[in-house]
Amino acid sequence: MQARTAVRMKQEVAVGMYVDEDRDVYMIERKDTIVDIIRMQQQAGLWQTLSVDLVDCGPGSREGDNYMSIIKRVKAHCKAKSVDGRNHVFTISLIFKRQITNPNRRRLFRCDAAFENEITAYASIVPVLQRISPYDLPYPKCVTAGSDEHGDRIVLEDLTTSGYAMLDRRVGLSYEHCIAVMKELAKLHAVSLAMKHAHPHEYADVCSKIREIVYCPEAAEFYTHSLESSLRGALDSLRYSNGEQGELDGPIRAVEGLTGRLYRIMSALVCDGMDEGWRVICHGDTWVNNLMFSADRQHVRLIDLQTMRCTTPVLDILHLLYTSTEHSMRRQYVPELLLQYRQSLLAALGEHFCACEEPAAAAALLRRYAEQFSYARLRAEYDRCLPYGLGIAMWLLPAVTFNPDKIPDLDAVTIQDFKTKKHDKRIAQIVSNDYHTRMRDIVLEMYDQGVLQRLKSDRI
């Protein structure tokens, strides 16, 4: 009797893929929750009465595309009476992000810290940046970010209702897609530079709220082992791709020299070594699954702010290019993409300075930043940080390229799996031919440009 009552209560709350006896009601968004959120979105006093007839919960991302949180698309079918007495019937679609429920996975992948970082980003950082900015920032609108009786919660606009869509992560981004991302990253980074100039104390306060959750002491053990596992996987892939003539022998030996050092190399590039004038608030995880594009490829929105960090802006660019593009695109278009980034950065800074400075002062400031971010200096910073591109490719390419039919069970993973190489075997079973091709291309790029040789002589 109690079981039947529980199921009936769930059906009264919501319908959809999560309504069954084996799912916790935590997975379902209640009608009263939806009503409260709709009221948050609407102008105060707009509705005299508001009710939700039906809540339909479904997956908010494709299977295998997300492992740090639960993402749901929630469609609410509503009835309302406005203050003028008219009746309204409408449907609203929202994206809900919740914490994953498996406690071991949450601890291992530091999901709590990541979710807290994203709540802070949407609640305390993006609103300040948007207030300073003369243009819209490339983030989805956030309805609420905080917690309720079920735990941490972030509610966002559903970008698909505005024509935005995620791309197939297994297909490298086109030149047009990359140009769109360069423009938006430049505008995002420009806000930091303008804010540092005009509102330095407020900027420092905003930065103090951003936590580095990957390259920090409390995360070092897990991510060191995780990166070492990825490095071993890359070496196995290179040996698999090495021909009878041994054309990869040199690159393989160079990559072997990174053993035991990769996390320290990545950490140094993220946290240290840059000109402080270049340090800005970055997205931190600009791979294809965190991008949604308009149908005409002209506009992009950046989602998933869990690893927002303060660092050099070129890391956002390298993260994109070495996880989400193919060799031919990088070989042909990197100079053009960097030029587009610089052009968009200076244009965005011009908007900022013209809005708050006298014309002569604005022109002088823009000349200063044009020199600071000259193409030569931008390219030099990009080249200095190329090892980050190598490391992030080793780390993420298995996730970018694996077949959705071969999704690993991350709930079963432990840190011992990384230490004993059990996880290596698990990943080896899901990597694709595309992974082998991309890894080979990236390592050869780094070898041909002298990056691997430079790392051999570095003392990190």
Strand 47-59 vs strand 15-16: parallel, antiparallel, or unpaired?
parallel
Strand 142-148 vs strand 87-98: parallel, antiparallel, or unpaired?
unpaired
Torsion sign across C-alpha atoms 20, 22, 24, 27:
negative
| Position 408 pLDDT exceeds 50 | yes
User: For the chain, what is the total number of helices (H) and then of strands (E)?
Assistant: 19, 10
Say what percent of the chain tops pLDDT 90: 66
Torsion sign across C-alpha atoms 109, 111, 113, 114:
positive
- Residue 75 phi, psi (nearest 5): -110, 125
List pLDDT tens digits, range 214-265: 999 999 999 999 999 999 999 999 999 998 889 999 999 999 999 999 999 9
**DSSP code string of 116-154:** HHHHHIIIIIHHHHHHH-SS--SSPPEEEEEEETTEEEE
Query: For residues 136 and 231, what is the distance between their CA atoms, to the nearest angstrom?
Result: 39
Q: In Å, how far are 53, 63, 171, 174, 192 from 167, measured between CA atoms?
A: 33, 14, 8, 11, 29
Going by pLDDT thresholds of 50, 70 and 90, the confidence category of residue 428 is low
| Position 83 pLDDT exceeds 50 | yes
List pLDDT tens digits, range 130-185: 999 999 999 999 999 999 888 899 999 999 999 999 999 999 999 999 999 999 99
| Position 12 pLDDT exceeds 50 | no
| 111 Cβ contact partners less than 8 Å away, ≥ 6 residues apart | 68, 69, 99, 100, 105
Going by pLDDT thresholds of 50, 70 and 90, the confidence category of residue 43 is low
Residue 450: how many CB atoms within 10 A of its CB? Answer: 11
Q: Which two tokens stand for residue 404?
A: 């959705």
Say what percent of the chain tops pLDDT 70: 89
Query: For residues 458 and 265, what is the distance between their CA atoms, to the nearest angstrom?
Result: 9
Q: Please say whether the structural domain 142-455 has been given the CATH code 3.30.70.
A: no
What's this model's pTM, rounded to 2 decimal places? 0.90
17 - beta bridge partners?
Answer: none
**Higher-confidence residue: 41 or 94?**
94
By C-alpha distance, which of 362, 367, 363, 316 is closest to 341?
A: 316
Find where tokens 């897990």 sit.
Answer: 222
Find where tokens 């980074």 sit.
Answer: 189
Interval 85-102 mean pLDDT: 90
Q: For residue 7, what pLDDT is reported? A: 32
Q: For residue 24, what pLDDT is reported? A: 40
The angle that helices 314-324 and 375-384 make with each other, rounded to 10 degrees, is: 60
Q: In Å, how far are 62, 66, 111, 176, 211 from 69, measured between CA atoms?
A: 13, 7, 7, 30, 18
List pLDDT tens digits, range 315-337: 999 999 999 999 999 999 999 99
**Average pLDDT of every residue of the chain:** 88
Domain range annotation of the chain: 28-39+46-99, 142-455
What does the chain come to in residues? Answer: 460
